[in-house]
Homo-oligomer: A and B are copies of this chain.
């Protein structure tokens, strides 16, 4: 059966409250790394070498914002920008070794915070939440951008 309006209204409330969770996670980031950089690095590891436009699609923001975030991460040596051999207008982005290490640190911090707050959650519930959130993301942003693993078939 399809969901009723009361449940969608409740969902809107619950989604807003996720902001508070994300702020709490952001409080444990290193001072030179804004939350947006964490998102950037995470997507670059997941998807490998991608273009600005693809990253913009994945982030669900305007490309002007992506451009600024990428510039910030590049200044700090976490990302490299390379020309796209197939299109002179494009730039290909990828993690540097330094960015890879930075992301390891960021992931560990976020994982520590979640493990502490959700210490009593059963494994199945975390998995269920992950699955539902992944489907939510897909329902809102149905982008078809290859991940690093299957990018070989391209």
Residues of chain A touching chain B, judged by Cβ–Cβ distance below 8 Å, are 1-5, 7-25, 35, 38-39, 42, 46, 59-61, 107, 110-111, 114-115, 117-119, 121-130, 132-137, 139-141
Query: Is A22 a contact partner of B16 (Cβ separation < 8 A)?
Result: yes
Query: Is A11 a contact partner of B140 (Cβ separation < 8 A)?
Result: no
- CA–CA, A123 and B3, complex, Å: 4
Query: Is B107 a contact partner of A21 (Cβ separation < 8 A)?
Result: no
Query: Is A22 a contact partner of B18 (Cβ separation < 8 A)?
Result: yes
Q: A118-B8, A126-B3 are in contact. Are A18 and B111 (CB under 8 A)?
A: no
Query: Is B20 a contact partner of A141 (Cβ separation < 8 A)?
Result: yes
Q: A129-B136, A139-B118 are in contact. Are A18 and B15 (CB under 8 A)?
A: yes
Query: Is A137 a contact partner of B17 (Cβ separation < 8 A)?
Result: yes
- CA–CA, A135 and B25, complex, Å: 17
* Of the residues B2, B18, B107, B141, contact of A133 by C-beta under 8 Å: B18
Smallest CB-CB A-B distances: 9 pairs: A20-B60, A14-B133, A12-B110, A3-B126, A8-B114, A8-B111, A17-B137, A129-B132, A1-B123
